[in-house]
Structure 1
Amino acid sequence: MLSKEQNEALTQVDSGKPMGELLRRYWHPIAASTEVEKKGTIKKLKILGEDLVLYRDKSNNLGLVADRCAHRGVSLEYAIPEECGLRCQYHGWLYDKTGQCIDQPNEPEDSTFKNRIKISGYEVKELGGLVFAYMGPSPAPELPKWDLFVQENVVRTIGYAVIPCNWVQIMENSLDPTHLEWLHGHYFEHIFEQQGRPQDEWPITKHHLKIGFDEFEYGIIKRRVLEGQTEENEDWAVGHPIVFPNYLRVGDSGAHSFQIRVPIDETHTLHFWYTCFVPAEGVKVPENYPITFYECPIYDENGKFVTDYIDGQDMMAWITQGPIADRSIERLGTSDRGIIMYRQMLKRELKKIENGEDPKCTIRDPQQNEYIELPQEEDKFSEGGLLSGVAIHWNTRYAPNLSEIIEICKGGVISSNV
């Protein structure tokens, strides 16, 4: 268990708070590129406790600045995009992408007042169909080119949800292998039994014989051995990574996915499911093939959790711990050592930035960043893919075109109409 003070140190993300300062050393996805692909588009958002607007100006450049005009505090969500920035709709003050005021139409021509006016402005870049922001001190590190973001000849989908809980409890779920056999196994059996579904549709639930965790250059490798397996199986021999500080990587030979947890504030998280589907051998995915962007449902029409698909089950578990999990009342067991390891890593990396050092996964060398390949088991559980069977059957209910994409990839035909 943790004290109240220790829990706050892990979960508070505002500027000036220890974890907020650590997270500001990283690039975070904040939107899909399709959300701001049109010139003149403005999207209001909140990241790391800061109210911001993401926009694309008339020169096709992206900017990310504070939501409030420095003049009278009006929201810039309704501002006027110009050739080189964003002009406040109230009195015409113009801000460039750094947040610097560069024009005040109703001030004297020789006035230097605008030179003293600046709102927050942050670096933004696009990669792999996502818009990333860096909100930390200069100089910014490299935007990591993790393999899934730059992999060629794949079909990509991006799911998202705004989850009403703190980001840490979502990440801790990724360091908890045994929830697979219960939340996505026995609980699935219970749900299907309640729905009257035949047992041949139920998942095959196996007991964990062994779990393991190893630190590597970019985070933690998670491993497991299930009943009927040995340590020669890829789920132990290779495993899959948690990329520090807020990515989970899962998948199999047919599809690899990132789950990315971006804190909005202390009690809300912007969650992305970023998946690359690999087409059949010899099939070429057309250049600029469209990326499907969809929202993952949390609740049904009655306000109850949607729990008949894997991501919905996870969200139910995260959210019902409360907006911020009270770790002063938890009772961790031996199966929770991955969670303990992750918390220790967070504390260690906090110490690094306090000492003026770069934290883990800070990449400064462009040559190191050309293509960062992450370890990932391909033969998941040695009995078909993670996205096969019950998981893929139920997830396709909520991701538009996902069934078609999978069939196209299997069948070896790629059409631009998907």
Structure 2
Amino acid sequence: MLSKEQNERLTQVGPGKPTGELLRRYWHPIAASSDIEKIGTIKKLKILGEELVLFRDKSNTLGLVGDKCAHRGVSLEYGIPEKCGIRCQYHGWLYDRDGQCTEQPNEPENSTFKSRIKISGYKVEEMGGLVFAYMGPAPAPELPKWDLFVQDNVLRTIGYAEIPCNWLQIMENSMDPTHLEWLHGHYFQHVFEQQGRPQDEWKITKHHLKIGFNEFEYGIIKRRVLEGQTEENEDWAVGHPIVFPNMLRVGDSGAHSFQIRVPIDDEHTLHFWYTCFVPMEGVKVPDNYPISLYECPIFDANGKFVNDYIDGQDMMAWVTQGAIADRTTERLGTSDKGIIMFRQMLQRELKQIENGEDPKCVIRDPRQNENIKLPQEEDKFSEGGLLSGVAKDWNTRYAPNLDEIIELCKGGKVSSGL
């Protein structure tokens, strides 16, 4: 268990908080490119405890600045995008993409007042259909080109949800292999039984014989051996990575995914499921093939958790721990060694930034950042993969074009649109 002070240190993400400052050393996805595609679009956001507006100005360049005009505190969500920034709709103060005030129409022409006015302004870049922001100290590191974001000839989907809980309990779930056999195995069968569906529709109920974790350059590799398997199976021999500080990689030969957990504030997390489906050999995906964007539901019309798909079950487990899990009352066992390892890594990297050093996974050498390939098992659980009949038990079942994607990945022809 952790003390109250230790729990607060790891869960508080606002400006000036230890973990908030650590997370500001990284680039985070904050929106889909399609959310902000049109010139003049403005999207209000809250990231790492800060109220912000993301906009595309009239030069077709993205900007991310504080939500409030420094003059009278009016929200810039309703501002006017200009050629090089955003103008407050109330009195016309203009801010560039760094948040510097550059015009004050009703002040004297020779006034230097505007040079002393600045709101928050952060770097933004687009990659792989997502908008990424860097909110930390200068100079900004490289935006990591993780392999799925830059992979050629794949069909991409982006799912998202705003999870009403702290980011850390979501990440700790990724360090907990044994919940697979219960939450996504026995519990899945219970749900199917309640729905009158055949229990043999979902078969991952095998007992874990062994779990393991080892640190690698970019985070932690998670491994498991299930009943009937050996260490030669890919789920142990290769495993799958948790990329520090807030990304999980999962998948199989047919589809690979990132799960990315971006803190909104201490009690809410913006979660992305970024999936790349691999078409059959010889099938070419057109450059203009759209990336489908969809929301993953947490609750049904009655306010109950949607618990008949894997990611819905995970969200139920995360959220029912409370807005911020109380780790002063937990009782960890030997199967929780991955959780302990991740907390220790967090504490270690907090000390790194306190000592003025870059934390783990901050990339500054462009040569290291051309295409960062991550390890990934191809035959998950030795049971077949996402395209072998269980794709619709994942978040991807909400992708509007999933049936077409599955057909294409089985050898169909790719169309230029949905």
- The TM-score normalised by the length of structure 2 is 0.99
Deviation at residue 396 of structure 1 after TM alignment: 5.0
Question: In the superposition, relative to structure 1, how do residues 387 and 262 fare at CA in structure 2: closer, same or farther (>3 Å)?
Answer: farther
- The equivalent residue for 1:369 is 369
Distance 1:387 1:280 in 2: 12
Contact persistence 1:85–1:96 (CA under 8 A):
yes
Deviation at residue 393 of structure 1 after TM alignment: 4.6
Q: Give SS of 1:303's match.
A: coil
Question: In the superposition, relative to structure 1, how do residues 102 and 395 fare at CA in structure 2: closer, same or farther (>3 Å)?
Answer: closer
Deviation at residue 388 of structure 1 after TM alignment: 3.6
Output the amino acid matched with 1:215: E
Output the amino acid matched with 1:389: G
Query: Are 2:402 and 1:402 equivalent residues in the alignment?
Result: yes
- The equivalent residue for 1:47 is 47
- The equivalent residue for 2:58 is 58
- The equivalent residue for 1:282 is 282
Question: In the superposition, relative to structure 1, how do residues 408 and 205 fare at CA in structure 2: closer, same or farther (>3 Å)?
Answer: same
Q: Give SS of 2:203's match.
A: coil
Distance 1:410 1:8 in 2: 48
Gaps of at least 5 residues in structure 2 are none
Distance 2:386 2:215 in 1: 23
Output the amino acid matched with 2:408: I
Query: Are 2:189 and 1:196 equivalent residues in the alignment?
Result: no
Q: Give SS of 2:416's match.
A: coil
- The equivalent residue for 2:210 is 210
Contact persistence 1:53–1:64 (CA under 8 A):
yes
Query: Are 2:145 and 1:133 equivalent residues in the alignment?
Result: no
Deviation at residue 198 of structure 1 after TM alignment: 2.0
Report % sequence identity.
84
Contact persistence 2:283–2:411 (CA under 8 A):
no
Q: Give SS of 1:317's match.
A: helix
Q: Give SS of 1:276's match.
A: strand
Deviation at residue 379 of structure 1 after TM alignment: 1.1
- The equivalent residue for 2:16 is 16
Question: In the superposition, relative to structure 1, how do residues 128 and 2 fare at CA in structure 2: closer, same or farther (>3 Å)?
Answer: same
Contact persistence 1:2–1:328 (CA under 8 A):
yes
Contact persistence 1:253–1:385 (CA under 8 A):
yes
Distance 2:72 2:394 in 1: 50
Q: Where do 1:2-401 residues align within 5 Å?
A: 2-386=2-386, 388-393=388-393, 395=395, 397-401=397-401
Q: Deviations over 1:33-89 (max 9, x none)?
A: 000010000000000000000000000000000000000000000000000100000
Deviation at residue 407 of structure 1 after TM alignment: 1.4
Deviation at residue 274 of structure 1 after TM alignment: 0.1
Contact persistence 1:281–1:412 (CA under 8 A):
no
Instruction: Please tell me the root mean square deviation across aligned C-alpha atoms, in Å.
Output: 1.0
Gaps of at least 5 residues in structure 1 are none
Distance 2:395 2:183 in 1: 15
Deviation at residue 389 of structure 1 after TM alignment: 3.0
Q: Deviations over 1:340-361 (max 9, x none)?
A: 0000000000000000000000
Contact persistence 1:254–1:277 (CA under 8 A):
yes
Contact persistence 1:296–1:399 (CA under 8 A):
no
